[in-house]
Structure 1
Amino acid sequence: MGMKTTMAKSEVEVNQDGTVRGLSNLAVQMIAFGGSIGTGLFLGAGSTIHRTGPAILFVYLMIGIFFFLMMRAIGEMMYADPQQHTFVSFIGKYVSPQLGYFAAWSYWLELVLAGMAELTALSTYVKYWFPGTSSWMVQIVFLLILTAVNLAMVSSFGKSEILLSGIKILTILVLIIIGFFLVTTNHHNPAGTQASWGNVFAHFELFPHGFHQFINAFPMVFFAFQGMEFVGITTAETKNPRKVLPHAVNQIISRILLFYIGSLLVIMAITPWKTLNPNESPFVQIFKLAGLPAAAQVINLVVIVAACSTLNSAIFSTGRHLYQLAEESSSKSMSFFTQVSKNGIPVASVLFSALIMVLAPIISAFNSLGTAFSFISSVSSDIYILVCILTMSAHYRYRHSVDFKVDGFKMPQYRWANPLTVIFFFAIFVSLLFNQASIFPALGALAWALGFNLLLLYRQKKLKRVDVQGS
């Protein structure tokens, strides 16, 4: 994968493996927005505010800082080797091939399930307007459209993500602007409250519903940031990666914190947080207070866009992960997934990943499968934390390897920042074991990790025995 050639006509860089560097700096940032700003903010923020009140701002800030540190670690490794199609490949390179294999397949599965979850959500949002529509039909239509976008050209995917993420960002900016207006004019709400910055920290308590609820908010917010690491999947198809990557990584975290913390701050300033309904989107509630009767309709459209954006990024990312797995595999059966189209798309791996997501409409057709799917999705999300821990371990090993690039895009203060991030991610996982709702998925994630690696060890020993007997 080392060399690059240039297409004279289009002036687009082509990697030696045939994939194309067609993503701009803006597209890379929007892909990260697409993955990490979604329904967790537009629909789920009411629940997190209800748990901790204004202290939720500290939770978002803290997790945002640690995600930034992880992004700097990923950015440093991708800067040193921008030919990699996924950051997970560094786990196999610097930690161990076995754990790298586990992380790659686990992360691919997590992204596939995330895409399936977005498909399920999309059908729910569409049925808000068209209750008589079949869920499976809605899901297949959206999957076909977004798969077609992914198969067109890398630049087409980038442009679609700029549009989809742009709508989400515009919605948040409108909320913040309206919020500032309501607060500065001391807007009187129908409930008898008044918009004021004093609403945010009036009678402030760090644990208004107890320490347990405060701790439980951390995993919820952690998963809301999930998807930011998509930047570490776009590098191999980004124009001028060593120029774009540092800008993209450094700018993303500040903007995400602005949109998350800025919107939550405004929401709690417009009306006291205790008056918010945790079961309804806080965006809907605030737009209603601002006198927008169609608030629920507007937000329903935005969450459809948000789900499309996340699904779009999931199809892109699953395709690149499977392609990287096939590239690194010695199995002949995996060589099928290394096919690259004339447009520079790893077409076989993208199509296969999208095909697996067809399980979502099948599950929707059988209600009895819904509970099992929810459990598997939760297990997969918990495995994501383990992948994050392994990624940080890979970065630490990279810093002590011969590949370390002294003049690269270095993670700041890695000697303490790296171990501290690992400890924080580990604490997030441990907290899942003390919550009745999350303990079984967390145990399921541990069982998957243990079972996968034991099976891999057994397979390796069996192959060694065959080699010994053969010789």
Structure 2
Amino acid sequence: MTTQATAGTTELERGLSNRHIQLIAIGGAIGTGLFLGSGIGIHASGPSILLVYVVVGLMLFVMMRAMGELLLSNLGYRTFQDFAADYLGDWARFFVGWTYWLCLLSIAAADVVGIQTYARFWWPELPGWVPMTIAVVFVLGLNLVAVRAFGEAEFWFALIKVVTILVLIVVGVVLIVIGFTSPNGDQASVTHLWDEGGFFPNGFVGFLGGFQIAIFAFAGIELVGTTAAEAKDPEKNLPKAINQVPLRILFFYVLALGVIVCVTPWTEVDPSESPFVALFTLVGFAGAAGVINAVVISSATSAANSGVFSSSRMVYGLATTHQAPAVFSRLTRTAVPGFALVLSCVIVLVSGSIGMIFDDAFQLITTVSSILFLFVWSVILVAYLVYRRRRPDLHASSTYRLRWGVPLCWLVLAFFGAMVVILALFESTRVPLLWTPLWFVILGGVYLVVRRRVARPNPER
């Protein structure tokens, strides 16, 4: 049932249909991490980056299925922070809510940093703050209208991304079949998967080096878990989104990057540029490269749009449980958390501005984001394990059970632990890893201050 948007609205509106949820889930995980960050992954791992994406994608599919079973076990859950609190305690709501909020804003910040990079394709001298500010203001405007406006915009944004990737795959396959030779003398061929130093050209260490950017690239795959309170017929639409989207994204990532590596040898990929734009530039399709660059900008805007949307819902959920200032629980006449949206956009704008100062800002932001996402995903899995132990009846009656859920969750948790170890091996990711615990120390201190409010709700609210 859809809540009408009125001046006295106190509940989020169920205005997202199945097509909105499907494309939001796809669009959230197809953004700067793929269009720009994949160049970093290819540079680090060579062709073996394809296997990296397969492994990460399969592990996250398990997490998604666990999240889906938990969300549908109680339709009162608005987001995954609700079931985390239910099974792990209010501390989990606080830590997951605020950490995921920071995760989403770090994605959005990386996206606006990416937009600055893409804009230089046409306007090398344009100050970076100009396209960044335009993008943030545009995203804020979309989100303030109504959730249906956000859903509709994200639907078309994501559709453009999907169609673009499909076109790139088709064009790339044609180039491979005809044996196209670029101006650099490189002939498109599947042999590029192994003839430039083998499938693992940088060895096992190089293979491991691709995991950080792959984790960041899939960050946002769980966005469907923040739409539960605004989804029509969640029992039908959420399983569809969860079942289909991860496999589709895996398809897009692996096949698209496979085509890129076959057309342009991995040694020709510049980690500071989008390999998608570079492919068309390299083969001499300058006009097409401009079109792809425009799509890449829209893709980054779309991912920032999803990040702002979901981060505002996290703050809204925290405010309704007295773990954030009450002002962020206020909804506008169109049933959206206006103050929470403004907060998210201001922080994205500030973070993006800081990103203009540091040359390695993209790597820094994506590493911190990856670490925090590993924490959030781990809490989802731990909550599932507790749910299985405490409520076997709900699992038995579920129409969306995760088969072999307990051993699979332990396997994925072990994988996440291994990822933290891998991040410690590389200098570019070690420093952000060492600084990230400071975030949890700060959260712990703040939680000690607010937990009395959590335990004793304000009767006026």
Question: What residue is the counterpart of 2:330 in the other structure?
Answer: 339
Residue 392 of structure 1 deviates from its aligned partner by 0.7
Question: What residue is the counterpart of 1:388 in the other structure?
Answer: 377
Does residue 404 of structure 1 match 2:397? no
| Pick aligned residue for 2:30 from 17, 37, 41 | 37
| Pick aligned residue for 2:406 from 404, 415, 419 | 415
Per-residue CA deviation, residues 330-365 of structure 1 (Å, 9 max, x unaligned), is x7x732222223322122322232233342465478
Per-residue CA deviation, residues 190-213 of structure 1 (Å, 9 max, x unaligned), is 333332333324477453212211
Structure 1 stretch 438-447 or stretch 200-209: which is displaced more? 200-209
Residue 295 of structure 1 deviates from its aligned partner by 4.3
In the alignment, is the contact (CA less than 8 A) between 1:106 and 1:380 conserved in 2?
A: no
Rg comparison, structure with higher value: 1
Which AA in structure 1 matches 2:231? Answer: T
Question: What residue is the counterpart of 2:278 in the other structure?
Answer: 285
Does residue 431 of structure 1 match 2:422? yes
Question: Structure 1 residues 133 and 198, CA, compared in 2 at 3 Å: closer, same or farther?
Answer: closer
Per-residue CA deviation, residues 345-401 of structure 1 (Å, 9 max, x unaligned), is 122322232233342465478x4x887897576434422211111111011112223
- SS of structure 2 residue aligned to 1:190: coil
In the alignment, is the contact (CA less than 8 A) between 2:79 and 2:225 conserved in 1?
A: yes
Residues 85-234 of structure 1: matches in 2 within 5 Å? 85-202=78-195, 205-234=198-227
Question: What residue is the counterpart of 2:307 in the other structure?
Answer: 314
Structure 1 stretch 60-69 or stretch 296-305: which is displaced more? 296-305
Q: How many residues align?
A: 451
Question: Structure 1 residues 370 and 107, CA, compared in 2 at 3 Å: closer, same or farther?
Answer: farther
- SS of structure 2 residue aligned to 1:188: coil
- SS of structure 1 residue aligned to 2:22: helix
Structure 1 stretch 111-120 or stretch 449-458: which is displaced more? 449-458
Structure 1 stretch 93-102 or stretch 398-407: which is displaced more? 398-407
Per-residue CA deviation, residues 208-235 of structure 1 (Å, 9 max, x unaligned), is 2122111111122111110111010112
Question: Structure 1 residues 397 and 182, CA, compared in 2 at 3 Å: closer, same or farther?
Answer: same
1:52 and 1:240 map into 2 onto residues whose CA distance is: 42
Which AA in structure 2 matches 1:80? Answer: S
Question: Structure 1 residues 18 and 296, CA, compared in 2 at 3 Å: closer, same or farther?
Answer: same
Which AA in structure 1 matches 2:421? Answer: V
Question: Structure 1 residues 241 and 436, CA, compared in 2 at 3 Å: closer, same or farther?
Answer: same
| Alpha-carbon RMSD | 2.9
Does residue 245 of structure 1 match 2:238? yes
Residue 441 of structure 1 deviates from its aligned partner by 0.9
Residue 239 of structure 1 deviates from its aligned partner by 1.1
Question: Structure 1 residues 165 and 102, CA, compared in 2 at 3 Å: closer, same or farther?
Answer: same
Identity among equivalent positions (%) equals 36
Question: What residue is the counterpart of 2:346 in the other structure?
Answer: 355
Give TM-score, length-normalised by structure 1: 0.87
1:287 and 1:128 map into 2 onto residues whose CA distance is: 13
Residue 444 of structure 1 deviates from its aligned partner by 1.4
In the alignment, is the contact (CA less than 8 A) between 1:143 and 1:354 conserved in 2?
A: yes
- SS of structure 2 residue aligned to 1:231: helix
Residue 75 of structure 1 deviates from its aligned partner by 1.0
Which AA in structure 1 matches 2:292? Answer: I
Question: Structure 1 residues 277 and 155, CA, compared in 2 at 3 Å: closer, same or farther?
Answer: same
Question: Structure 1 residues 413 and 361, CA, compared in 2 at 3 Å: closer, same or farther?
Answer: closer
Structure 1 stretch 353-362 or stretch 256-265: which is displaced more? 353-362
In the alignment, is the contact (CA less than 8 A) between 2:3 and 2:12 conserved in 1?
A: no
1:364 and 1:50 map into 2 onto residues whose CA distance is: 22
Does residue 50 of structure 1 match 2:40? no
Which AA in structure 2 matches 1:398? Answer: Y
In the alignment, is the contact (CA less than 8 A) between 1:135 and 1:361 conserved in 2?
A: no
Which AA in structure 2 matches 1:243? Answer: K
Question: Structure 1 residues 157 and 83, CA, compared in 2 at 3 Å: closer, same or farther?
Answer: farther
2:432 and 2:216 map into 1 onto residues whose CA distance is: 14
| Pick aligned residue for 1:304 from 297, 313, 320 | 297
Question: Structure 1 residues 188 and 158, CA, compared in 2 at 3 Å: closer, same or farther?
Answer: same
1:378 and 1:179 map into 2 onto residues whose CA distance is: 30
Residue 172 of structure 1 deviates from its aligned partner by 0.9
1:269 and 1:148 map into 2 onto residues whose CA distance is: 41
1:278 and 1:459 map into 2 onto residues whose CA distance is: 44
1:443 and 1:21 map into 2 onto residues whose CA distance is: 41
Question: What residue is the counterpart of 1:467 in the other structure?
Answer: none
Question: Structure 1 residues 199 and 296, CA, compared in 2 at 3 Å: closer, same or farther?
Answer: same
In the alignment, is the contact (CA less than 8 A) between 1:136 and 1:364 conserved in 2?
A: no
Residue 176 of structure 1 deviates from its aligned partner by 0.6
Does residue 261 of structure 1 match 2:250? no
1:439 and 1:359 map into 2 onto residues whose CA distance is: 24
- SS of structure 2 residue aligned to 1:72: helix
In the alignment, is the contact (CA less than 8 A) between 2:99 and 2:372 conserved in 1?
A: yes
In the alignment, is the contact (CA less than 8 A) between 2:21 and 2:241 conserved in 1?
A: yes
- SS of structure 1 residue aligned to 2:285: coil
Per-residue CA deviation, residues 258-310 of structure 1 (Å, 9 max, x unaligned), is 11111112122224433444444322333235441234422321221111001
- SS of structure 2 residue aligned to 1:207: coil
